[in-house]
Amino acid sequence: MTQLKIGAATADRIEESYEPNFNAVKFFPDWDPAVLDEHRDWLTPNHYDPASGFLKLSVHSWLLTVGGKRILIDTCVGNHKSREARPLWHQQDRPYLERLAAAGAKPEDIDMVMCTHLHVDHVGWNTRLENGRWVPTFPNARYVFSREDYDHYLAVDRDPEKGPANLGSFRDSVLPVVDAGLAQMVSGAVALDEHLKVEPAPGHTPGTIAIKLESKGERAVFCGDILHHALQVYRPHWNSFACAHAENARQSRRKVLEECAGGEMLLPAHFGAPFACNIDHKVDGFVPRFVI
């Protein structure tokens, strides 16, 4: 288990999966084999699998403990969910809740769930199957969703030609939370308490948010998919195939990298081991300094 300290806060990485899972050429439309050669010494084996040509991406949550609260940031894919378009994620049965318990938290202990955006691999454990129904996994939590993302995907989900939204995850992992009255919609820059605030970072999705933490003068940002892979630190103009608005995604990525180069730790949702990093300026770009 990875545990990081930011001031008086702790962030524990709760793993769902960590495996080669996306073909690099298909994942990054701008993929350049020369970049692989340039960075091969650190890419393998934690970030790239040369045998398959697949990126090795982690799917994990961050369990944040700060100010006496337990906050779960991004909730992965989830178990028992139909995701036929993504075979690795289809009908999973992974020990995610056991790993959460090993970090010291049961579902009823979670005070807040925060989703950086509403894609399928960031909302899955919002709900679990109980007596044939999808019910909120964390019954005592308020779930923080971006209003812009929610409204966008609600419209997609209701469109008979486009729905169901996000491989069905909007219906089984978002709407049951809203129906249970546990959702808190946020729009724009919002301070949630003395330690946490959210800031708009559109591009990957219309309502992607950056989650900012400050504790005892130390700062961190949970970036979700603003950056998917550590190579994007070197190539911030690279978007993934899943970025909805190319230029906005690039602007949001560069903004986060600039802020992290100014002293914020970067805690992504999918980087390979060691899973988090600081960012340094180098000439006219950036380099990661991994947190060991």
Question: 3-62 pLDDT, tens per residue?
Answer: 999 999 999 999 999 999 999 999 999 999 999 999 999 999 999 999 999 999 999 999
CB 17 within 8 A of CB 59: yes
Mean pLDDT across the chain, nearest whole number? 97
CB 245 within 8 A of CB 138: no
* CATH, range 3-290: 3.60.15.10
The Cα 146–Cα 166 span in angstroms is 15
pTM of the model: 0.96
Mean of pLDDT values over 169-197: 98
The Cα 1–Cα 112 span in angstroms is 21
Nearest to 122 by CA among 82, 71, 169: 169
Task: Using the Cα atoms of residue 35, residue 36, residue 40 and residue 43 in order, give the sign of their dihedral.
Answer: positive
- Per the listing, tokens 């298909």 go with 26
Can you give 237-250 as a three-state secondary structure string?
CCCCCCCCCHHHHH
Could you please report the per-residue DSSP string of 1-43?
--EEEETTEEEEEEEEEEEEEEEHHHH-TT--HHHHHHHHHHH
Mean of pLDDT values over 53-82: 98
Look at residue 116 and tell me whether its pLDDT is greater than 80: yes
Question: 255-268 pLDDT, tens per residue?
Answer: 999 999 999 999 99
Mean of pLDDT values over 65-81: 98
Percentage of residues in the chain with pLDDT exceeding 70? 100
**What would you report as the CA-atom Rg of the chain, rounded to the nearest whole angstrom?**
18
Nearest to 205 by CA among 176, 260, 243, 154: 243
How far from chain centre, in Å, is Cα 61? 7
Residue 171 CB neighbours (<10 A): 16
The Cα 61–Cα 39 span in angstroms is 27
Q: How would you list the strands of the sheet with 218-224, edge to edge? A: 190-191, 196-200, 209-215, 218-224, 264-268, 277-282, 285-290
The Cα 142–Cα 182 span in angstroms is 5
95: pLDDT confidence band, cut at 50, 70 and 90? very high
Residue 1: the pLDDT is 67
